[in-house]
Amino acid sequence: MIYDKEKYKIWNWKSPVILHWIINPGLVINELILGQTIPKVMLIEREGDKPFIQRSLIPCPHCGELHSGLKYSAQNKTAIKNWFGFYCDKCTKIIPVQRNLTSLLVLIMTFPIWGWFRNSLKQSWLDKQPERYKNLNLELVTPQMTTKNWLKMGLAWGLFMYLTMVFIFPFIMQEEITQKSMLIGIPIWLIGGLGFGFTMKIWMNKKAR
C-alpha cells in the first residue's frame, strides 16, 4: 500500500521502535504468553496536538481501513491476546504483525508440538474477536501518563521480567537458579523496567510538531 509521507510518519521494520521489538529477546514473553504484538506497519500523524496514541494508525492491508491505535490498547482491553495478529473489525481479516526473533526461534523449535493444532487454534481465536471489538472507546480516557502511572507500569514490567528470566525460564530449561543470578537480576530488571516505563511515558505524551 502507498501512504502519504507528508501526512504520516511510516513505521516499519526499519524504525527504531519496531526494530527494538524484533531483536529484544525479553519480549518473547510479551509476544508468546501475553499475545502483545506490534503491527508490521504503523502510521503516525505528523500534525496535531493530540498525544501519540491518538495519532497512531494501524492500516489493514486487506481493506485499507486505518484503525486508531486506541482500538488495540489496554484502555479497551485489546492490547493483549493478539497471538495471530490484529483483528480488523471492518473486513474480519487479520492485520499482520512483526515477530520477535526469539519468538520465531521458539515457535520453530516447538512446531512439532503445536503445529498440529495451529489451524484449529487460529479459527477458535478468530471466532472470539468480533465480541472483543464491540463497544470500543476511541477517545483517550487519560490524556497524559503521569509520573505515578509510568513508574507503576515500569516496575510491574520489571518485576514480571525478573521473575520470568531469573526463575521461570531456568526452571523450564532445567538450569540451576543461583543466588548470584537472583542478585544480578535485581538491578538489571529494575533499570530495565524503569527505562521501559519512562519510554512509554514519552511515547504516550509526545505531541506532534
Chain segment 161-176, per-residue pLDDT in tens: 888 788 877 877 788 8
Q: How far apart are CA 58 and CA 56, in angstroms?
A: 7
Longest dimension (CA), the chain: 54
User: Residue 181: which residues within 8 A CB-CB, separation 6 or more?
Assistant: 166, 170
Q: Are 157 and 193 in contact (CB under 8 A)?
A: yes
Nearest to residue 81, comparing CAs of 20, 132, 153?
A: 132
Average pLDDT over residues 5-11: 91
- Quote the pLDDT of residue 134: 93
Q: Are 151 and 197 in contact (CB under 8 A)?
A: yes
Q: How confident is the model at residue 123 (pLDDT cuts 50, 70, 90)?
A: very high
Residue 133 has pLDDT above 90, yes or no: yes
Chain segment 93-109, per-residue pLDDT in tens: 999 999 999 899 989 98
Q: How far apart are CA 106 and CA 100, in angstroms?
A: 10
Q: Which three cell numbers stand for residue 72?
A: 488495540
Q: Calculate the alpha carbon distances from 17 to 39, 47, 203 in Å.
A: 11, 20, 10
Nearest to residue 82, comparing CAs of 129, 13, 135, 20?
A: 129
Residue 206 has pLDDT above 70, yes or no: no
- Quote the pLDDT of residue 144: 55
Domain residue limits, the chain? 8-132, 147-205
Residue 145 has pLDDT above 60, yes or no: no
Q: Which three cell numbers stand for residue 63?
A: 481493506
Residue 195 has pLDDT above 90, yes or no: no
- Quote the pLDDT of residue 136: 92
